[in-house]
Structure 1
Amino acid sequence: MSPPTPRIAIIGAGPAGLTLAALLHKRAIPFTLFELRPRPTPSDLAAVSGMLDLHDESGLAAVRACDLYDDLLPLTADCEQAMRLLDVDGGVRHQDADEGEGRPEVSRHNLTGLLLSRIPAEMIRWDHKLRSATRRVDESSSVLLDFGEKGTHVFDFVVGADGAWSRVRQALIPDAAKPRYTGVQNLVVTARQIGTRYPQLAELVGRGSMFSLGMGHVCASHHGPQDSARLYVGVGTDEEDFVRVRGLEGKTAAEVGSVYLADENLYGRWGEKMKELIRTVCDEETKDHPGQAAELRGIYELPVGHAWQHRPGVTIIGDAAHLMTPWAGEGANISMWDSLDLAAVLVDAWEAAKARGSDTDGGLRRVWQEELDPKLAAFEKVMQERGAVYAEESSNNGKMIFSDDGLEKFVAFFKSHGPPPE
């Protein structure tokens, strides 16, 4: 006998997948969430991670819908809503004080833990790497998910929240363009307790966000948990295979930092303040993770404005739908906005199906699919249009930041628009 409720699968436990799962559970709509990573331990979630500024119309709206806003606020004290814009010598070109409202910052790990608190553990299957998703060409519009040695599963509806290299996107859009390299290689490093151990560097980066840019490169930072400074050292280069070409495969952060600071085409001509910051944080990263290869990889994006035709039984959200660069601070926010809207569509379809009724359990699921299809098509149209706007903004910001006169443009942008994108 067919199950009475729709069989829904969510692929990916990032902000998009976890937000959708929390919202569906709140409305008593069952699902199964699959994630390729192992279940995070308390120590995993306590580790330092990147910061996200949540916006009122998107990320914060989703948090409120999950009834988590009051729980979020105590987690937003690590990073002030202030910005410092520096030149390559560490000179302050512009700064904005912390206004303490509008865009609270929360660490990725804290947001993950917060959302997980609203999802029953038995509804998540960790250590499940999706190998393929195949739409069945029959009246059921079901989707076959292949997890290799973990088995195969059939679902009535599959949501791909599986990021940049989404397997679900391949099923929805077989001829979709792949993410393209944006011309930036990003090194991520962290120093903890920076205020106590390196007060002069703590003063340089501040307790909010900082951007230093010039010569086609950027060094940005956020203040975070454990009084940390997390640096994003972005190299502008056409070399997509930069890591291999420069012999940086398997190198520690300290080793990568040494290469960067010795090369006059990279950071060798930057001022001593900024070089000390990069050197110190790279060294601290290696001390905390001895022998571990640096987190260094290219930044990719999907073509701005890419779209797809609606197909029953499957959709994509977040980075799977509109992977964008980080230069507008919108990626996680748009992902959670997608989830908020999609949850409303799924709930509306289920309520409408129950109101129509059916003589059989399987019939009720078929009625739900009939209700869902047009609502989903309308949602995807709005989502694609919205994603294109923010993706274009992010792409344009990146071009500005990494241009030859990026600093002057960024200062002008800051002065005319208020705080720049994070």
Structure 2
Amino acid sequence: MPFQPRIAIVGGGPSGLALGLLLRQRGLYPTIYELRNKMTPEELAKPSGVLDLHEESGLMVMRECGLWDEFQASTGDCSEECRVLDPQGNVLHTDKGELSTRPEISRHALTTILMKNIPSNSIKWNQKITAVRDARNTTTGAVEITLDLGVNSTATYDFVVGADGAWSRVRKLLTDAKPFYTGAQYVTATLRHASTKFPHLAELSGSGAFLALGGGKGILSHRGPQDSIRVCAAVNTPHEDWVKVAGLEGKTTAEVKTALLGDENLFAKWAPELQDLFATACDEETKDNGGPADILPLYSLPIGTRWEYRTGATLIGDAAHLMTPWAGEGVNLALWDSLDLAHALAAVPEAEDAAAWQAALEPRIREFEETMATRTKEKAEETAKNQKMFLSENGGQVLADMFKMYEKMAAAGGPPGKR
């Protein structure tokens, strides 16, 4: 009987789930470990961030997974329309999506369609990985993971994939690289049933993406499930611990709103309609969910992060190349990684034992990691450039000028713009 490798995927986000599904379709049966509890259907129906999937990456994975019809049925909450304003509320650019070929899907919807196609016993929920190390008493490169199950228990695998995000445990096995603070923070809030409860805000924000930028700050939004508007205030600050420095620790979203809109260095001088959009979302968020505000420092791995090949382990997604959201590349690169890695693992011929399997796998993983590192370096550079550009003094005008350039390219028969 041919050797069947033991494969673990640490992380049950989009990249881990996609890899699990792609491998199962190719006759490999990984175990997926996820720190979070399994979300209920009710939780997955709630508004979440939206993701625009790109043709060469995210959309290709949907097709290869056989999920194209389910994917198309799960889009539509957020259109590809885009509006750009300055802090005074002047409209600098608007389009109906003709400059984009990147359909939007909510993160929860993407999780749902991936998860429903993987047997439930293949995913181990609420599993905290406390350590990843070389397995003892082996010469085959096997990897041992330690689980926090009240008393520590271990499991050994022939190959472990770190899909465990920004603060990856698996990454420590391969490299000392750590995420660094990029100088920006997000404050996020969501209002639901916008068209009926707040029609003026639904009209303001439009059916897709909305970006008001300037003075090193931004108020951004997109539409989502339950006729929602998800609003983010983006703030440039050198303080990684801005929550503490600004006195926002433990504050509700409504309380944070008062602080941000009352600060002349932040949003006190912004147009009333922009303040209203942010304020209403913050009040609704507090009413619906309570608790501390969702304030997120934005981190990135150093551009060009690489590691030496190591038998028995690799990284994908944010664990390999964490970057900020400013180019919309994170989930697409993660899904692309999953597809390429599935191809590499499935291409290994039948082997008699673990050592033979590892030897046949090595050149394929080396090629996978080199290809991944090359393409992600380019996308990380684009992302860093965009963050600096969008959170500049005249960010709205800079973005509007970019769209004008795309319009001219399209009119001349060139490739469509991207965002």
| TM-score, normalised by the number of residues in structure 1 | 0.94
* Alpha-carbon shift at residue 4 of structure 1 (Å): 3.7
Instruction: Please give the alpha-carbon distance, in whole angstroms, between the structure 1 residues aligned to 2:198 and 2:417.
Output: 27
**2:161 aligns with one of 159, 162, 175:** 159
Answering whether residue 291 of structure 2 is matched by residue 300 of structure 1, we say: no
Distance 1:421 1:326, change over 3 A: farther
Residues 9 and 157, structure 1, Cα contact 8 Å, conserved in 2: yes
Aligned with 1:391 (options 380, 405, 417) = 380
Q: Which amino acid aligns with 2:381?
A: E
1:41 equivalent in structure 2: 40
What secondary structure sits across from 1:39 in the alignment?
Answer: coil
Give a deviation string over 1:220-266, Cα, whole Å, max 9, x none. Answer: 11111111100111111111110011111111111111100000011
Work out the CA distance in 1 between the residues paired with 2:119 and 2:238. 45
Give SS of 1:238's match. Answer: coil
Report the alpha carbon displacement of residue 401 of structure 1 after superposing the two structures with TM: 0.9
Q: Which residues in structure 2 correspond to 1:90-101 (within 5 Å)?
A: 90-99=89-98
Matched to 1:417, the amino acid is Y
* 2:359 aligned counterpart, secondary structure: helix
Counterpart residue number, 1:190: 190
Aligned-pair CA distance for 1:100: 9.8
Following superposition, the deviation at residue 59 of structure 1 comes to 0.2
Asked if 2 retains the 8 angstrom alpha-carbon contact of 1:36 and 1:129, the reply is: yes
Are the equivalent residues in 2 in contact too, given 1:80–1:100 (CA < 8 A)?
Answer: no
CA distance in 2, matches of 1:55, 1:216: 28
The one-letter amino acid of 2:346's match is: V
Q: Does the 8 Å CA contact 2:135/2:141 hold for their aligned counterparts?
A: yes
The 5 Å alignment of 1:14-25 reads 14-25=13-24
Q: What are the within-5 Å matches in structure 2 for residues 187-226 of structure 1?
A: 187-226=187-226
Secondary structure of the residue aligned to 1:296 is: strand
Match status 1:275 vs 2:264: no
Distance 2:417 2:50 in 1: 16
Aligned to 1:243: 243
Asked whether 1:253 is paired with 2:253, we answer: yes
Matches within 5 A, 1:324-339: 324-339=323-338
* 8 Å contact kept, 1:243–1:297: no
The answer to whether 1:85 aligns with 2:74 is no
* Structure 2: 5+ residue stretches without partners: 408-415
**Matching residue within 328, 351, 355 for 1:366:** 355
Give, in whole Å, the separation in 2 of the partners of 1:101 and 1:28.
36
Alignment check: 8 A CA contact 1:345 1:372 kept = yes
CA distance in 1, matches of 2:270, 2:324: 25
Structure 1 residue 104: Cα displacement = 1.1
Paired AA for residue 28 in structure 1: G
Return the match for 1:414 from 393, 403, 411. Answer: 403
Q: Secondary structure at the match of 2:93?
A: strand
| Range that drifts further, 81-90 or 95-104 | 95-104
Structure 1 residues 3 and 266, CA gap change in structure 2 (3 angstroms): farther
Alpha carbons of 1:420 and 1:14: their partners in 2 closer, same or farther (altered >3 Å)? Answer: farther
What's the offset of the Cα at 1:101?
A: 7.1
89-98 vs 382-391, which moves further: 89-98
- Give the AA of the match of 1:144: E
Aligned pair in 2 of structure 1 residues 180, 131: CA closer, same or farther (>3 Å)? same
The amino acid of 1:29's aligned partner reads L
Q: Shift of the alpha carbon at 1:403?
A: 1.4
For 2:70, what is the secondary structure of its paired residue?
A: helix
Secondary structure class of the residue paired with 2:326: coil
2:80–2:208 contact (8 Å) kept in structure 1: yes
Q: Normalising by structure 2, what TM-score?
A: 0.94
1:320 alignment partner in structure 2: 319
- Residues of 1 paired with 2:204 and 2:417: CA distance? 18
User: How far did residue 309 of structure 1 move?
Assistant: 1.1
Bigger shift: residues 314-323 or 25-34: 25-34
In the alignment, the residues of structure 1 paired with residue 52 and residue 334 of structure 2 have an alpha-carbon distance, to the nearest angstrom, of: 13
Q: Which amino acid aligns with 1:280?
A: T
In 2, Cα distance between the equivalents of 1:3 and 1:287?
58
CA distance in structure 2 between the partners assigned to 1:405 and 1:46 by the alignment: 37
Matches within 5 A, 1:109-148: 109-136=108-135, 138-148=138-148
| 2:211/2:396 contact within 8 Å kept | no
Which letter maps to 2:308? Q
Q: Is the 8 A contact 2:99 2:418 kept in 1?
A: no
Counterpart of 1:27 in structure 2 is: 26
